[in-house]
Amino acid sequence: MRLTRQTNYAIRILMYCAANEERLSRIREIAAAYAASELFLFKILQPLVESGMVETVRGRNGGIRLAKPADAITLKDVVQATEESFALAECFETGATDCPLIDNCGLNAALRDALNAFLNALGRYSIADLVADSGFMRKRLGLTAESVPATVN
């Protein structure tokens, strides 16, 4: 299975916010850190907010932050919130095939087992696991005390 670019960047947004947990993050800064389009990241932000992983703070000093602890957000959560389809084969999609074996197919069962194993493996890793060396992450993402304005409450 190949994850979409949207899921890849959703994970990156969450990692950035986790590494920058004491401050609000801004899409402009995240886009610069990853050399990505701000418009693309804004599009990705919606499912993260809707699924309760990220919250937005409006206003002049606004931004985004994790809506719950980084160790409570699994990669499985992110993938399920951002991927549109988990159809590994045509027969995963209801009514999408005219295969005569659809009701008793060993391939379909094998692929379902593989998908479940994949999602279960992702469920064992949290965003906190990905930023365990937050000092390194902060340095690589340019999150130094001088480069990021303090959050105003």
Domain boundaries, the chain: 5-84+127-140
The pTM (predicted TM-score) of the whole model is 0.83
pLDDT in tens, 100-133: 766 677 777 788 888 899 999 999 999 999 998 7
Chain centroid offset of residue 10 CA:
3
Neighbour-count burial of 13, counting CB atoms closer than 10 A to its CB (0-12 exposed, 13-18 middle, 19+ buried): buried
CATH architecture, domain defined by 5-84+127-140: Orthogonal Bundle (1.10)
In this structure, how many other beta carbons lie within 10 angstroms of the beta carbon of residue 21?
14
Cβ-contact 91, 23 below 8 angstroms: no
Q: pLDDT digit string (tens) for 35-60? A: 999 999 999 999 999 999 999 999 88
